[in-house]
Amino acid sequence: MNSVWLIAFSIIIFIVAYITYGGWLVKKWGIDPTRKTPANTMSDGVDYVPAKAPVLLGHHFASIAGAGPIVGPIVAAMFGWVPVLLWIVVGSVFFGGVHDMGSLFASVRHNGRSIGEVIGETMGEKGKKLFAIFAWLTLILVIAAFTNIVAAAFVSTPEAATSSLLFMVLAVGFGYAVYRRGLSLMLGTIIGVVGLAVCVWIGVLFPLNLSIQAWMIILLGYVFIASITPVWILLQPRDYLNSFLLYAMLAGGIVGLLFLRPEIQLPAFTSFKVGTNYMFPILFITIACGAISGFHSLVGSGTTSKQLDNESDIRLIGYGAMLIEGVLATLAIITAAYLTSTKLADLSTAGGALNVFADGIGTFMSAIGIPFIIAKNFVTLAIAAFALTTLDTATRLGRFILQEFFMVDSQKSDTAKTAVNIMTNKYVSTSVTVVLSGALAFKGYQLIWPIFGSANQLLAALALLSLAVWLKQSGRSYKMAIYPMIFMFAVTLSALVLLIMANLANPVILIFAVILFILAIILIIESQKAFKVKEIQEDIK
């Protein structure tokens, strides 16, 4: 079977689903194009600014696109490519799409307030706190997982290590020249993009070989320093230049794929149990962001809902963006599926999921004339750059969450107050985050990823729950949110039980799994309570 069919399959199913299921959701939820959105009623020229639908879609998609949908499917390929593709498609259509579109809709109807506030209103303070805890835990897991993923990729592709380090220098230079000194953005961008090409080229000439442990320590050090420096020096330039890398890579990859049209070699289906991993639930929590991701609700309700010009855009942006991400996930599974099992295992061992992806896209791009080693280096650099920026941002956000969480309880004794002051100090909280994630990172991302997936799915379950409660309270049909939520709970709980049993010898991972398990139980109990609340027939919010 040719891999192009997989992409075609995803795209066609997504288009059909968009029109049918998406249209059905619009009807059932009463999405109203005549109703004014917060961007128009609460316009403030800063956050609440209406944006044209396609532009907003582009922005929203750029925000939710990440390395998650790439790593997940490749790791899950152990079950064969068919289960992975099926879950990507079914998950995006019935789970992720509903989650994204629903949380966007709920946020719009709550005056553009963030999902946490919606949760607070539908489920009370406890729900809100749970959300914050899940978010923080997921951040730690993301930092741990990505540190390890990038370090592994640097081992298999030492050219990318050099390029990444050079990229950091380039970013600082860009930041200084454009922001501090006022170099024109156009000129800076041109120099930046050319500089990126130079980074790639020099990387190929001078690969940097270090052990994976060494890389992890270097990366953790980078995370610490980067997250406490002012944004204009490193984070903003990186974030900006990253987008060029990413889109060039995507464009090159897709065009290359269409040129090369490789045949699928990986088995369509291996077994319901691979090693200690049962397909249910491990397939689902491994693919995680590729099908449904709790983070999307934060991004959607954080900025997108405040910029929505008309409710009729909700389907396009909420549902549509998730489907596009599904296409990205499909591209990822293809980079694993066109390999033989042996080759896949080799590449994974050599450098993890990122190595598989980079090798694949690199191969596709070589079909359109770009030398393989340069293409592979370029792809690794692109994903690593994205991951490193995520590390920086995640550490900063971890601090904010800690601060708000601890501030609330600081009315206690003086010792408590001092403890709070120490915990929320910039250097301490950053160190806590880095040390904690570091301890996890050394366990290897294969062990961390399922935990991260579970946490992410729980975050999504919480958002779905809140959505369901709100739909019910406002007299709307809510089954389309409840069933996915129940499935998420089933998947995560069973996954956590399995993970706890499998990691009894790994205290750090064990603690996370246990904590998540307990929190999941608490969440389920809260959901029972939330549903007992009578329907509120007042203004349908």
Sites of contact with other proteins (CB under 8 A)? 42, 44-47, 51-59, 61-68, 113-117, 128, 132, 135, 142, 145-146, 178-180, 182, 185, 189, 231-232, 235-236, 239-240, 243-244, 247, 289, 293, 295-296, 298-299, 301-304, 387, 390, 393-394, 396-397, 400-401, 404
Q: Which is nearer to other proteins, 10 or 393 (CB)?
A: 393
Residue 374 Cβ, how far from other proteins at the closest point, in Å? 23
Residue 519 Cβ, how far from other proteins at the closest point, in Å? 18
Contact 88, 333 (CB under 8 A): yes
Question: DSSP strand E in 380-469: where?
Answer: none
Contact 317, 60 (CB under 8 A): yes
Residue 16 Cβ, how far from other proteins at the closest point, in Å? 18
- Cβ-Cβ contacts under 8 Å for 309 (sequence gap 6 or more): 37, 39, 40, 50, 51, 52, 53, 56
Residue 367 Cβ, how far from other proteins at the closest point, in Å? 23
DSSP string, 264-328: P-S-S---SEETTEEHHHHHHHHHGGGT--THHHHHIIIIIHHHB-BTTHHIIIIIHHHHHHHHH
Residue 47 Cβ, how far from other proteins at the closest point, in Å? 8
**Could you tell me the CA-to-CA distances from 48 to 38, 96, 300, 406, 425 in Å, in that order?**
7, 26, 13, 30, 32
Contact 389, 395 (CB under 8 A): no
Give the tokens for residue 414.
Answer: 């003086």
Residue 236 Cβ, how far from other proteins at the closest point, in Å? 5
Q: Which is nearer to other proteins, 129 or 261 (CB)?
A: 129
**CB atoms < 10 A from the CB of 501, how many?**
11
Q: Which is nearer to other proteins, 120 or 203 (CB)?
A: 120
- In angstroms, the CA 429 to CA 244 distance is 32
- In angstroms, the CA 318 to CA 480 distance is 15
Q: Which is nearer to other proteins, 225 or 268 (CB)?
A: 225
Of the chain, the end-to-end C-alpha distance in Å amounts to 49
- In angstroms, the CA 219 to CA 512 distance is 22
- In angstroms, the CA 102 to CA 97 distance is 8
Residue 276 Cβ, how far from other proteins at the closest point, in Å? 25
- In angstroms, the CA 94 to CA 292 distance is 9
Contact 467, 146 (CB under 8 A): no
Q: Which is nearer to other proteins, 182 or 275 (CB)?
A: 182
Q: Which is nearer to other proteins, 341 or 403 (CB)?
A: 403
Contact 175, 234 (CB under 8 A): yes
Residue 328 Cβ, how far from other proteins at the closest point, in Å? 12
Q: Which is nearer to other proteins, 80 or 398 (CB)?
A: 398
Residue 314 Cβ, how far from other proteins at the closest point, in Å? 16
Q: Which is nearer to other proteins, 64 or 520 (CB)?
A: 64
Q: Which is nearer to other proteins, 296 or 472 (CB)?
A: 296
